[in-house]
Amino acid sequence: MRGIDTQVRKIRRRIFKEVANLAYHSKDLINDVEALPYKIVNYDESPYLSVYRERAIVRERIRLAMGLSLRPENVPVHVTQGLAESDIDEKYYEPPLMQVIPSACNACPENRYEVTDKCMGCLAHPCREVCPKGAVSMKDGKSIIDQEKCIKCGKCKTVCPYDAISHQVRPCLSACGVNAIINDSRGRALIDSDLCVSCGQCMVNCPFGAIADKSQIFQLIRAIQSGRKIIAQVAPAFVGQFGPKVTPDKIKTALKELGFYDVYETAIGADMGAMAEAEHYVHAVTTGELPFLLTSCCPSWSVLAKKFFPETIDNISNELTPMVATARKIKEDHPDASVVFIGPCASKKLETSRRTVRSDVDFVITFEELAGMFEAKGIVLEEVNISDKMEGATGAGRGYGVAGGVASAIEECIREYYPDAEVRIEHAESLAECKKMLMLAKAGKKDGCLIEGMACPGGCIAGAGTNIAVPQAAKEVAGFKAAAAKKIPDR
């Protein structure tokens, strides 16, 4: 559904816009938050669910967008409870990051085979003949499946000549590469935080919009309003995310109109990372000190390795991620500034909260959330008059946003800086493929390799906070990479 302007996307964008509006314009925050569900869900124009249920769901979406947790279903908690604590001009975070809104969840079947009305009631009845448990029978000339007997083997679907048997799966579960989606007592989706790596793919694949992450846009706007120096860094995947006519230079100018003091490319930190990981690979892997090296720029990939393959921890590059490296560069240039990372990724919000490595990032918002801020502020990006240039990074760093781009950048650096070194590159995209890659590495099948992992299929351009279709995003990133003044950074 990525790139399609579905009702779910419209609702999410509206929520971000309205929450940003509250930060910009509200004089009576508690009452305005109370009124917001009635503003968003019009009694006479609600075409989907019960208007009362829609408003109940919107209330929870508003809370998440303001950084608050969902309310318990069986305890009377006011919609504005905790609002005073979140009405601050610094990062506010209550774990967990990813949450399922119970009232919005459709309790979709996890794994179920059903006969559709395409069944022709054929004489051969191959579906019945291949079923090992006798779960398929005929009724009124059509096949039916006894769900009590069915073992979900799928043989009936495979042999049906009319493709009349449907395999229903829970979209959020099928998108989760670590099986972190479980059931609550009512059969609704629930996220197991011990397994979740916060990639957000469950969120973008839920057709009911029942899964959401917490936002920091409200606190960020408060920080900008405080008058402090706030500097943004934009991830390499930003190109094209706000429309085909919105150039990188327009984005930089528009961000300054929002109140940011300055804007850096996170690709600058990616350039630093490419150089550092090239050196790390040559000195550690080609010498035999390490059997293989895992890149570290995707937080969900790193968490996956640490949670499920702890024996690979020493093989994860200890170089700073592009976000952190850029933040430290900004802090060097502007010691008194607060840093905001603007990117495609939900898990970056957690990376800034980890304690093992100081992130130097004060806020994280996604492209989707930023679009809501632009709308609330009335900034029409296509009409922005350019007053500044987006520059500073090389093509290597700008290519980090696409699957394979990290490994490619490091490989280019190795071939330039260490021409005598042999280099073997591998990359995996999606958590399922990342797990396979790590299993192969663990088994000694990837010795000598530099391995890039990306939790999202397609890379960062497919992150949970993006706005456009993945193929279009890949094309835009490739064009911006090609336009860079330099191909790789100077050693």
Q: CATH number, domain at 68? A: 3.30.70.20
Count up the domains in the chain and report the number: 2
Mutual orientation of helices 29-40 and 7-25 as an angle, nearest 10°?
Answer: 160
Residue 343 inside a domain? The answer is no
pLDDT of residue 491: 84
Q: Which of 168, 186, 208 is the last residue of a domain?
A: 168
Q: Is 135 in the same domain as 86?
A: no
- Residues 115 and 196 occupy one common structural domain: no
DSSP 8-state assignment for residue 195: T
Does the residue 40 lie in any domain? yes
Instruction: Please state, in angstroms and as integers, the Cα–Cα distance from residue 154 to each residue in 43, 75, 139, 172, 174, following that order.
Output: 44, 42, 20, 20, 16
Instruction: Classify residue 346: in a domain, yes or no.
Output: no
478 in any annotated domain: no
Q: Is the dihedral of CA 397, 400, 401, 404 positive or negative?
A: positive
* Statement to judge: residues 95 and 128 lie in one domain: no
195 and 52 assigned to the same domain:
yes
Cα atoms in the 13 Å half-sphere on the side-chain side of 70: 22
| Sign (positive or negative) of CA dihedral 425, 476, 267, 235 | negative
| Cβ neighbours of 122 (radius 10 Å) | 14
Q: Go through 369-407 and write b for each residue having 16 or more CB atoms within 10 A of its CB, e for each that does not.
A: bbbbbbbbbeeebeebeeeeebebbbbbbbbbbbbbbbb
> How far from chain centre, in Å, is Cα 100?
15
| Tally: H helices and E strands in the chain | 19, 15
Is 362 within the bounds of a domain? no
Does one domain contain both 121 and 70? no
| 33 within domain boundaries | yes
Q: Per residue of the chain (491 residues), what is the pLDDT tens digit?
A: 677 889 999 999 999 999 999 999 999 999 999 999 999 998 776 666 688 889 999 999 999 999 999 999 889 999 999 999 999 999 888 889 999 999 999 999 989 999 999 999 999 999 999 999 999 999 999 999 999 999 999 999 999 999 999 999 999 999 999 999 999 999 999 999 999 999 999 999 999 999 999 999 999 999 999 999 999 999 999 999 999 999 999 999 999 999 999 999 999 999 999 999 999 999 999 999 999 999 989 999 999 999 999 999 999 998 999 999 999 999 999 999 999 999 999 899 988 887 666 779 999 999 999 999 999 999 999 999 999 999 999 999 999 999 999 999 999 999 999 999 999 999 999 999 999 999 999 999 999 999 999 999 999 999 999 999 999 999 999 999 999 999 999 98
Confirm whether 292 is domain-assigned: no
Q: What's residue 125's pLDDT? A: 93
Strand-pair category, 136-139 with 142-145: antiparallel
Given this model, what pLDDT does residue 392 score?
A: 92
- Name, in order, each residue with C-beta under 8 angstroms of 219's C-beta and a sequence gap of 6 or more: 67, 86, 88, 89, 90, 91, 92, 363
Domain span at residue 37 reads 7-107+173-218
**Sign of torsion over alpha carbons 403, 406, 412, 418:** negative
The answer on 192 and 147 residing in a single domain is no
The encoded tokens of residue 67 equal 């950084």
Q: pLDDT value at position 5?
A: 85
Nearest to 266 by CA among 206, 343, 153: 343
Same domain, 159 and 178: no
| Same-domain pairing of 204 and 182 | yes
Distance, CA of 135 to CA of 57 (rounded, Å): 39
Enumerate residues 6+ apart whose C-beta is below 8 A from 420: none
* Residues 64, 11 share a domain: yes
| CA 121/CA 137 separation, integer angstroms | 11
Neighbours of 479 (CB within 10 A): 12
The pTM for the full model equals 0.93
One domain for residues 143 and 21: no
Shared domain check, 34 and 55: yes
Largest CA distance in the chain: 78
Residues 86 and 208 in one domain: yes
Residue 61 lies in a domain: yes
